[in-house]
Amino acid sequence: MRANVARGPDRNGEMKSYDAIVIGSGVSGGWAAKELTERGLSVICLEAGRPISPEADYVEHVQPWEMHFRGRGDRKRLEREQPVQRQCYACDEWSSKFFVNDLENPYTTNPDAPFTWIRGRHEGGRSITWGRQVYRWSDLDFEANAREGIGVDWPIRYADIAPWYSYVERFIGVSGQREGLAQLPDGEFLPPMEMNCAEVKVRDAMARTWGRERILTIGRCAVLTRDHHGRKACYYCGPCERGCITRSYFSSVNSTLPRARATGRLTFRPHSVVAEIVFDPEKGKAKGVRVIDALSHESLEINGRIIFLCASTLESARILLNSKSAQFSEGLGSSSGQLGRNVMDHIFLAGASGIIPGSEDRTTRGDRPNGIYVPRFRNVKDKHPSFVRGYGMQGSAGRSGWGRGNGMEGFGAEFKDKLIREEGPWSMWLGGWGECLPREDNAVTLDPEVKDAWGIPALRIQCTWGPNELAMTNDMQTAAAEILEATGAREIRQFNDRSTPGLCIHEMGSARMGRDRRTSVLNRWNQVWDAPNVFVTDGACMASSGCQNPSITYMALTARASAYAVEAMKRGEL
């Protein structure tokens, strides 16, 4: 495709007009940049934050004694500048640089309805710190809204997305075990990682007790178990969220952005905060975006024939809400009244833990960056009396190290030797990740007063759990305990800490796909009904939440929409 360069370079040597503008460089934006450039388009990728250099920024091998606070984090700075972000386990002394400054990036909630909004503003976004779990959806998920009359029906089914799951998995590399389950389709897997002694015991006990109804499988994760497309196999150092110099896990920086750059058609512009999408009322589509340079605070306009909005779920909603025009006074995509609504997250932090007796003479070697998975078993064949949908369980087993000394009685040479030469018993924990139903009153709007450091209105987030999610957490803890009992575990402890909405960092919805422009923001190709050259392919597009970790679905939808967009441009439709 011929690059559309209507105007010459600006004073920074930048073209001001491109075939495509990609907003955001995270999981979705990286995929849009790769697919659109590889399919011949000139693309500018606008990243709100700074560029990332693996050699300078990745810190997975920096040891605790090399850190000023030995890894405990600069507590006072974190409390002052990242009071929200520090709620994420990965926002530690090493990786807090991969999370936003909360003072520069405010948002508001009702005091009695907190929402934890974890964000990364830098090249690669949250793909650097993500949990790397990869689970396909099935028609159990895509058909759920229609079957139960909740929200709107998805405009696609599994058959529409399955080839794109394969396409994405083959590129990013996903390790996992094929299980042949209808509710959790197998993917294009690299060899699975090993389970440890205790996990094998739990798996076998579950097989004896529940057969194929409730199984345990190794986590399916975007970590390479053998060399793949020029990236090296994992060497099991452990803390992926600090980066990976061998590019062994998928992130935009490790994987998609290098491919996009290799085409020679990518312009990557960091420090570019998109304030709004500019709508052309005569043509009935978007003509470009208004950008605020994060460093100079100057405003500039960049034009493109198509726009891929991949700023992350709620940032994308915010940009759409802020894109007000004479025609769409409540924001671009607002004609259905659904823009900003139906925000979801997964509810978690409910489950059980226990001691798995035996194998005291066995241990693990290497730090596996992955756990185990129990695919959804509720409302698959049976019908649960107290809730619809279901949850998957994640967890892992291990033996405790010197940290257990805190809770041990005693001190002295023998105490020390025990901590050095022995390990604690095998313990296992399992927790549910539960589906959240879409509700119109879980909505984001622009705060009328608060603005961010660049003068853009902050989001006001209203999101609470409903009775279905809360009922599910009760079942998570009893079902997890049941599994541990079936294994013969001791000291089983149930927990139910019900995460605040947002904390799972699976926030999605706010610009849902649908079949009808009167009830949805996006069509079946992720196009904004009100502006067909704008595609929203991150989590904002989700019409329901499933219970699976969602990133792979965003990637597949982005690749699918990118292919569609390029074909539509060739047909002269965009």
Site for other proteins in 395-454 (CB under 8 A): 395-396, 398-407, 409-413, 415-417, 419-424, 427, 429, 431
Collapsing DSSP states into helix, strand and coil, what is residue 315? helix
Q: Which is nearer to other proteins, 134 or 319 (CB)?
A: 134
Q: Which is nearer to other proteins, 81 or 143 (CB)?
A: 81
Judge contact between 22 and 44, C-beta under 8 A. Answer: yes
Q: How far is the CB of 320 from other proteins (least distance, A)?
A: 26
Residue given tokens 């292919």 in the structure block:
563
Distance of CA 466 to the CA centre of its chain: 22
Q: How far is the CB of 217 from other proteins (least distance, A)?
A: 14
Distance between CA atoms of residues 495 and 480, nearest Å: 10
Q: Which is nearer to other proteins, 274 or 555 (CB)?
A: 555
Q: Which is nearer to other proteins, 12 or 63 (CB)?
A: 63
Give the burial class of 359: count Cβ atoms within 10 A of its Cβ; 0-12 exposed, 13-18 middle, 19 or more buried.
Answer: middle
Amino acid, single-letter form, for residue 571: R
Other beta carbons within 10 angstroms of residue 305's beta carbon come to 22
Check residue 492 for interaction with other proteins (CB under 8 A). no
List the interface residues with other proteins, window 177-216 (CB under 8 A): 193-197, 199-200
List the interface residues with other proteins, window 5-34 (CB under 8 A): none
Contact characters 225-254, other proteins, x per CB under 8 A? ---------xxxxx----------------
Contact characters 323-352, other proteins, x per CB under 8 A? -------------------------xx-x-
Q: Which is nearer to other proteins, 255 or 549 (CB)?
A: 549
Which stretches of 103-157 are DSSP H helices? 139-142, 144-148
Check residue 270 for interaction with other proteins (CB under 8 A). no
Q: How far is the CB of 415 from other proteins (least distance, A)?
A: 7
Q: How far is the CB of 222 from other proteins (least distance, A)?
A: 12
CA 163 vs CA 70, 141, 187, 188, 221: distances in Å:
46, 17, 10, 10, 19
3-state secondary structure 60-117: CCCCHHHCCCCCCCCHHHHHHHCCCHHHCCCCCCCCHHHCCCCCCCCCEECCCCCCCC
Distance between CA atoms of residues 22 and 256, nearest Å: 13
Residue 445, strand partner residues = 460
Judge contact between 506 and 548, C-beta under 8 A. Answer: no
Contact characters 83-122, other proteins, x per CB under 8 A? -----xxx--------------------------------
Q: How far is the CB of 562 from other proteins (least distance, A)?
A: 26
Check residue 131 for interaction with other proteins (CB under 8 A). yes
Among 61-69, 149-157, 177-185, 260-268, which window interacts with other proteins (CB under 8 A)?
61-69
Angle, helices 467-487/197-210, rounded to nearest 10 degrees? 100
Check residue 63 for interaction with other proteins (CB under 8 A). yes
Distance between CA atoms of residues 356 and 304, nearest Å: 58
Q: How far is the CB of 503 from other proteins (least distance, A)?
A: 8
List the interface residues with other proteins, window 360-389 (CB under 8 A): 361-368, 371
Among 260-268, 474-482, 500-508, 552-560, which window interacts with other proteins (CB under 8 A)?
500-508
Element (H, E) at 303: strand 299-309
Q: How does DSSP assign 435-501, residue by residue?
A: -----TTSEEEEEEEEE-TTSPEEEEEE----HHHHHHHHHHHHHHHHHHHHHT-EEEEEEE--PPT
List the interface residues with other proteins, window 506-535 (CB under 8 A): 506
Other beta carbons within 10 angstroms of residue 494's beta carbon come to 16
How many binding residues for other proteins (CB under 8 A)?
Answer: 81
Check residue 55 for interaction with other proteins (CB under 8 A). no
Q: Which is nearer to other proteins, 283 or 490 (CB)?
A: 490
